[in-house]
Structure 1
């Protein structure tokens, strides 16, 4: 087979790219190593930036999002047993975020792809990307028990941190920047209605906690735990008790979470990682294949979407004008946004978590920073602008 763009990875980045290319009249093939059921149930991010929502709507994938997604106009920060709300629209000229799980984004995009998009092959295990620096790169993969090849004009790796595409970029060409954190998140899904309207980020002496949601009846909650924690060591009752302790307020001592059946429990490590450049020859990296952020800033899915939006526009520009200028600028264009998101995610993570090695002096610095956000419109605006997402259009100067 031959296609214009071979896309490795059928997660939200790969599927969104395929949809945007289809709408621009550019053919593609998507190869996904897992089966459809696994992809549609893979739990990941749940916060969509304004720009991501706008693009999904324009791509034809916004109908269910608008019906079932939950728009949020702010977040609540808790520290020192006090609460402060950061109002996004007031601070960002009207921008907001949506709670709509990655599983639902993927379901919507798969449905569109299967109705009128290009080929989407599940259980297609990619082994290698070859001839990346030629005008006909090759994807070698196994599908339906047969080894196959797909020649492409271009290859886009949306196959995640452990995918094979980044191996097409020679070690002497790519540079890796990374940081690991001395703590993890214990995350749960629970059949319990949220008692809060917006996400709550809590800094406490006991460690960080986050209250999120998946719907009006399902809560998504996180606790900071030591690296190497076994989820089995945490009973449901212990988790609920610890969450209540970390979210406690002096002004409302009766505030408690609603408890329900815990349906999922997992420990998530925290990592920052960037691979540069995001292009080698005719192979491009997008999403987690190129960068990882700790989840504290809600940037992972949105960064991946931004990558493929930039890339789809570059392919459309090539098709319409014959110019590869935007493709040539892809890596530099994306990395400017990537490093801003990396910095914001690092800031949120290190400000809100209790490092086991930190001194009382460093804890006081964290509390001072949180106090400034609570008392300074400029500091709150900086957080709000980064959280809701920087503009995708370079002509938009709201930064």
Structure 2
């Protein structure tokens, strides 16, 4: 087989890239090691920046996100048993975020790709990348006991932190940066109405909590737990009881509990691999960077990456110019590091660090008090939360 771009990974980043390239007239094939059902079964966050919504519109897959997504013009910060609203809309000149589950974004992109008859090869494993330091890379994969090879111009590695794309790069060509946090998020998904119509981020002496949602009838709640905690040690009852201890009285009164649909513990880390281009291979999304979920940047950074990459490839094929491709890593990493900074700062502000003791808790509360009472500080939070604008080539 032969195509212009092989995309490794059929998560939202890979699928969005495929759709953007298709609409630009660029042939592409997507390889995914898991089944389509497995990909759709992954539970992920769903706070979409305007940049992501704009890219979904460009890809022609934003109808359901607009119809069913929940526009949010603010968030609430809870500390010392009181909530304080950050007016995202007012502080950023009318910007907002949209709550729409990553699973639904993936579903919409899958449907669009199937409707156009574009090639996605699921359960393709193992996959191997070859000669991406030349102008004639190839990708090999196994399917149904047979080995196949695809010749292409470029490879886009959208296959996540544990994928083959970054692992194929020689170690001495990568510079890795990582910070691992000493706690994780215990998350519960339940078919209960949200406790508030906007997200609540809670800083408490017992640890962080987040009240989020997927729809008006499905909620997602998180608790900060020690990194050695096991999900099987948390019953639904123990989760809801602990959540109540981290909420203000009004939120506790409004909290509706129910059986969990899904329960898991996610570790928190910050990670960046530099650069993001190696000859004909381009890394995007979690293959190149991970952020703590506190700032809701993971999916949005991935969509920004493929937005940059699709535009660079379009310029290359239309104008015969390498200039945009040569700037891909630079532009992505400028945005990535700003998001890493914001996610690290917000994580450091909202979570309990036992080694910092009571002094650390008082410092956090003082900073939060300043944050909610300073327009400049609130504006900085709001601007970063709704997402910084995309730079142009």
Distance 1:100 1:254, change over 3 A: closer
Corresponding residue of 2:45: 45
Partner of 1:321: 319
Cα distance in 2, alignment partners of residues 126 and 177 from structure 1: 27
- For 2:52 and 2:352, how far apart are their aligned partners in 1? 31
Q: Alpha carbons of 1:117 and 1:361: their partners in 2 closer, same or farther (altered >3 Å)?
A: farther
1:30 deviation in Å? 0.2
Kept in 1: contact 2:331–2:391 (CA 8 A): no
**Contact map agreement 2:244 2:252 (CA 8 A) in 1:** no
Mapped contact 1:311–1:330 kept (Cα < 8 A): yes
Query: What is the 5 A alignment of 1:63-74?
Result: 63-74=63-74
What are the equivalent positions in structure 2 for 1:208-357 lying under 5 Å apart?
208-249=208-249, 252=250, 255-357=253-355
- Whether the 8 Å contact between 1:135 and 1:153 is mirrored in structure 2 is yes
Gaps of 5+ in 1: none
Whether the aligned pair in 1 keeps the contact of 2:284 and 2:306 (CA below 8 Å) is yes
Aligned-pair CA distance for 1:201: 0.2
Matched position secondary structure for 2:256: coil
Which structure 2 residues correspond to residues 9-158 of structure 1 after superposition, within 5 A? 9-116=9-116, 118-158=118-158
Structure 1 Cα separation of the partners of residues 43 and 378 of structure 2:
30
16-25 or 225-234, which moves further after superposition? 225-234
CA contact (8 A) 1:136 1:151 kept: yes
Once residues 123 and 233 of structure 1 are traced to their aligned partners in structure 2, the CA distance between those partners, rounded to angstroms, is 33
Change (3 A) 1:254 1:31: closer
Matched position secondary structure for 1:135: coil
TM-score of the aligned structures, taking structure 2 as reference length: 0.98
Q: In the comparison of the two structures, how many residue pairs are matched?
A: 393
State the shift of 1:253 in Å: 8.1
Query: What is the TM-score with the length of structure 1 in the denominator?
Result: 0.96
SS in 2 for 1:392: coil
Partner of 2:177: 177
Give the secondary structure class of the aligned counterpart of 1:2.
coil
Tell me if structure 1 keeps the 8 A contact 2:195–2:251. Answer: no
**Cα pair distance change 1:176/1:253, threshold 3 Å:** closer
Residues 31 and 126 in structure 1, CA contact (< 8 A), matched pair in contact too: no
Counterparts of 1:387-398 in structure 2, within 5 Å, are 387-394=385-392
Q: Extract unaligned runs of 5+ from structure 2.
A: none
Q: Shift of residue 117 of structure 1?
A: 5.0
User: Deviation per CA, 1:245-287, whole angstroms, max 9, x where unpaired?
Assistant: 10124xx486341111211111110010000000101000000
- Residues 122-151 of structure 1: CA distance to partner in whole angstroms, max 9, x if unpaired? 111243211110111111211222111111
Aligned to 1:312, the other structure's residue is in SS state helix
Q: What SS class does the counterpart of residue 110 from structure 1 fall into?
A: helix
Q: Secondary structure at the match of 1:77?
A: strand
Deviations 1:273-316 (A, max 9, x none): 00000010100000000000010000000000000000000001
Per the alignment, residue 359 of structure 2 pairs with 361
**Does the residue aligned with 2:356 lie in a helix, a strand or coil?**
coil
Segment of structure 1 superposing worse, 125-134 or 368-377: 125-134
SS at match of 1:360: helix
Question: How many Å apart are 1:120 and its aligned residue?
Answer: 0.7
Deviation at 1:165, TM superposition (A): 0.6
Q: Is the 8 A contact 2:8 2:32 kept in 1?
A: yes
Q: Give yes or no for contact 2:308–2:328 (8 Å, CA) kept in 1.
A: yes
Shift of the 14–117 alpha-carbon distance from structure 1 to 2, 3 Å rule, reads: farther
Q: Aligned partners of 2:38 and 2:94: how far apart in 1?
A: 36
